[in-house]
Structure 1
């Protein structure tokens, strides 16, 4: 291919990019008792392809950078969605997960149209207390960008502040996440340091829940949250509607 053709191809690719999404995954690979945990793969893969299909570039970051740990349970046959299978077989996408960007290197929150936090149990340990993430989420929300999270991903919202009021970002807003009912069903209620739905309510959120394991999404202005793995694609779709100016 000629230099001119390569240049024209690069311009063509750039022209179809609608915006930028930052996905922030956990770096935590175990519970305090040593039981493996990490990212729930479908909660990243489903939105990854939803955003990509609408012309958004996706960057994957994590607190430590490098390889993101994957919860082995999420790779079981019953847990794997078609998009999760696609992601695992997608060399370019998988490489992003193996070489995630260190969160400390993300300087401009406003350069992303959406910051999305997938779950897995890891976020209740690291994302919940990550001050770099808290700053980025606050800056993004203040700049009118979308902040989205699913399942245990909303743990990452706990330290973020509303830049206007100084209160917790979730305070006074409708929010959902993995519920106590679902936590008990998977037998992890004794392993997590807190029950996320209760912690969000304590932070002032108007917590809502749908039926266990069903799709449930809350959109409150620029804040979009989903209850469980089944809600991941719907969270991305809701975020896209907000970015398009409709909800």
Structure 2
């Protein structure tokens, strides 16, 4: 069934490094954008892409090389001129009005953890979207963008706390980071950060396996393999005019 033409916003990183002398060859992990992008299009949504600073979004070159470029949606995206133009001309998050969108989706990649958690513009955007009862989704290290977004409702018992407070949340696990053997390539232990923000960290049964979780308005995926599941939960939440409680 094709849903009505609502707008969904992707948000991606604007940096290709992690800072502090860490490896510089990173950026957006393309699969985390490509899979949801085509699912949302198939369902009839209008999709737009924003980044922290706007302009051309840096893409982790590893995500466009074998074997990752053989993923059908990655391959399709790399041959989709319209999609590539969007990715090369992202709107800065400072210019985004969340009222225009039914949901926002924050993509994966190590680099998103280097700029998203520290962006006041993104904190404003996510906090406002959450306050307006929009669906807020993120996958992998993209979940780091939610850590410092705050509950704006002064009447809420946790006003001023992270929007993750008291919610079941997933994201790239400490075990996955350790098992990858890349050590310094990982920005910080996201699992620990989620718990420090008051979230209840949850994960799937195996490393790098797909696992997604919905907690009210917040939908999170453990890793890039979870991107499609997160997108499916977004569609489920928005279908038939359903609106969730914060």
SS at match of 2:172: coil
Matched residues in 2 for 1:187 and 1:136: separation? 34
Structure 2 counterparts to residues 63-102 of structure 1, below 5 A:
63-80=52-69, 81-102=71-92
| Equivalent position of 1:142 in the other structure | 131
- Gap regions ≥5 residues in structure 1: 1-15
Q: Answer yes or no: is 1:163 the counterpart of 2:152.
A: yes
User: Where does residue 5 of structure 2 map in the other structure?
Assistant: 18
Once the 2 structures are TM-superposed, how far is the Cα of residue 77 of structure 1 from its aligned partner? 2.0
Post-superposition Cα deviations, 1:147-177, rounded to whole Å, max 9, x if no partner, equal 0000110010011012222210101011000
User: What is the distance in 2 between the residues matched to 1:140 and 1:116?
Assistant: 11
**1 CA distance for matches of 2:113 and 2:76?**
27
Whole-angstrom CA distance in 1 between matches of 2:65 and 2:178:
19
Which position in structure 2 is the counterpart of 1:44?
33
Tell me, what secondary structure is at the counterpart of 1:163? Answer: coil
**Normalised TM-score (structure 1):** 0.89
Distance of 1:238 and 1:169 partners within structure 2: 19
Structure 1 segments, 4+ long, off by >4 Å, are none
Q: CA RMSD in A?
A: 1.7
For structure 2, the 5+ residue unaligned runs are: 154-158
Which aligned pairs between 1:1-247 and structure 2 lie closer than 5 A? 18-32=5-19, 33-80=22-69, 81-106=71-96, 108-164=97-153, 165-210=159-204, 211-244=206-239, 245=242
Q: How many residues align?
A: 232
SS at match of 1:24: strand
| In structure 1, C-alpha distance between the alignment counterparts of 2:181 and 2:65, rounded to whole Å | 17
Q: CA deviation at 1:184?
A: 2.0
